[in-house]
Amino acid sequence: MAVVAESLHAAPPVAAPPVADGLRHDWSTAEIEALLAQPFNDLLFQAQSVHRRHFDANRIQISRLLSIKTGKCPEDCQYCPQSAHYDTGLEKEDLVALEEVLEAARAAKDSGASRFCMGAAWRGPGKDFDQVLRMVEGVKALGLETCASLGLLNAEQAHQLKDAGLDYYNHNIDTSPQHYANVISTRSFDDRLETIDHVREAGMKVCCGGIVGMGEKRDDRAEMLRTLANMPTHPESVPINLLIKIPGTPLDGVAETDPFDFVRTIAVARILMPRSHVRLSAGRQSMSDEMQALCFLAGANSMFCGERLLTAGNPSPETDRSLFGRLGLQPA
């Protein structure tokens, strides 16, 4: 040991690696495609092995969502029940009152959630932003981690959120750069990356992931994961959503995703971003218990609990309690 240390000291100075976190940020498409294409058992073994080096494999972080402004969103995201471009039968709701938000946050904490995430059907913050800052302050004061998903941010808005006590900002890349324009027309992939940069520069943690099941190919999933894993710092939280098909949206009729392909996406996210929380996010209501168990085996260690996501359904607390009990899982 001493010999190794001495020889290291004696070595001539070497240029520092671009990132000092000991994690890779230089994945190639071919490498990621090869990971995704492995025999399923090999992939799961590898992902579970990586997972156990960094986390307690039986603990799951729990977040709770609340829609603080629902529907009539000006953006055209073909998957979304809240886009004003589609008739999904959703009732529009104005900004929720502060006290109502705090009540929901208290209930979330009592039910075991460690993080409370407020989502708004906005392109980005507008006239009600100050009230959202008050919500962040109030939820933070309850002793919960805070997260918000409010659309595109500029640098100033990111700093305001940070100053109000926001721990995480959620902004997804949703899919690969090449599939992106097939799904979203009103904001670009680069707009999203810019918002994520502002979040980082303001000193908040990044929650960034995407959706599986929007008609993408395996190489799109590889490119989506590559974009996330090659960020200068891995997002601390990586939500992998399974598309919830919403009647009235263009993606309602898209072909079913092979559940094993979804699990593969989780497993590769785990391998590429070993210290991040990978969230088994939207779409659990259409998954079997066995599929969810495979996602945990693949390294998913975060979930949204509570019977509602933003507008769509989620398994009931009793269903999740039973699943946790049967699998021996505990809230982190």
Among 80, 105, 118, 263, binds ligand SF4 (CB under 6 A): 80
Partner whose footprint covers residue 174, from ligand SF4, ligand SAM, ligand DTB, none (CB < 5 to 8 Å by kind): ligand SAM
User: CA-to-CA distance for 187 and 45, rounded, in angstroms?
Assistant: 38
Minimum CB separation from ligand SAM for residue 241, in Å?
4
Q: How many residues at the interface with ligand SAM, by CB under 6 A?
A: 17
Minimum CB separation from ligand DTB for residue 326, in Å?
25
Site for ligand SAM in 260-319 (CB under 6 A): 282, 310
Among 167, 174, 216, 223, binds ligand SAM (CB under 6 A): 174
Contact between 320 and 305 (Cβ < 8 Å)? yes
Which CB, 46 or 320, lies closer to ligand DTB? 320
Element (H, E) at 240: strand 237-242
Among 47, 65, 68, 80, binds ligand SAM (CB under 6 A): 80
Question: Strand 59-69 to strand 330-331: parallel, antiparallel, or no bridges (unpaired)?
Answer: parallel
User: CA-to-CA distance for 128 and 133, rounded, in angstroms?
Assistant: 9
Among 96, 121, 207, 305, binds ligand SAM (CB under 6 A): 121
> Hey, how many other C-beta atoms are within 10 angstroms of the C-beta on 97?
12
Residue numbers at the binding site for ligand DTB (CB under 6 A): 65, 81, 119, 149, 170, 172, 209, 239, 241, 244, 281-282, 309-312
3-state SS, residue 168: strand
Answer yes or no whether residue 119 interacts with ligand SAM by CB under 6 A: yes
User: CA-to-CA distance for 53 and 8, rounded, in angstroms?
Assistant: 26
Partner whose footprint covers residue 83, from ligand SAM, ligand SF4, ligand DTB, none (CB < 5 to 8 Å by kind): ligand SF4
Answer yes or no whether residue 151 interacts with ligand SAM by CB under 6 A: yes
Partner whose footprint covers residue 311, from ligand SF4, ligand DTB, ligand SAM, none (CB < 5 to 8 Å by kind): ligand DTB
Active site residues: 73, 77, 80, 117, 147, 207, 279
DSSP structural state of residue 15: P
Residues contacting residue 131 through CB under 8 Å, at least 6 positions apart: 95, 98
Among 47, 66, 73, 148, binds ligand SF4 (CB under 6 A): 73
Stretch that binds ligand SF4, among 37-45, 80-88, 230-238, 296-304 (CB under 6 A): 80-88
**Token couple for 111:** 């039910």
DSSP string of 128-163? THHHHHHHHHHHHHTT-EEEEE-S---HHHHHHHHH
User: CA-to-CA distance for 219 and 226, rounded, in angstroms?
Assistant: 10
Minimum CB separation from ligand DTB for residue 279, in Å?
7
Minimum CB separation from ligand DTB for residue 273, in Å?
15
Classify the phi-psi angles of 194: left when phi > 0, otherwise alpha if psi is within -120 to 50, otherwise beta.
Answer: alpha
Partner whose footprint covers residue 32, from ligand DTB, ligand SF4, ligand SAM, none (CB < 5 to 8 Å by kind): none
Separation in Å, CA 35 to CA 97, 193, 222: 46, 25, 9
Residue 167 burial (C-beta neighbours within 10 Å; 0-12, 13-18, 19+): buried
Residues forming the site for ligand SF4 (CB under 6 A): 73, 75, 77, 80, 82-83, 121, 123, 151
Which positions touch ligand SAM (CB under 6 A)?
A: 79-80, 119, 121-122, 149, 151, 171-172, 174, 211, 241, 243-244, 246, 282, 310
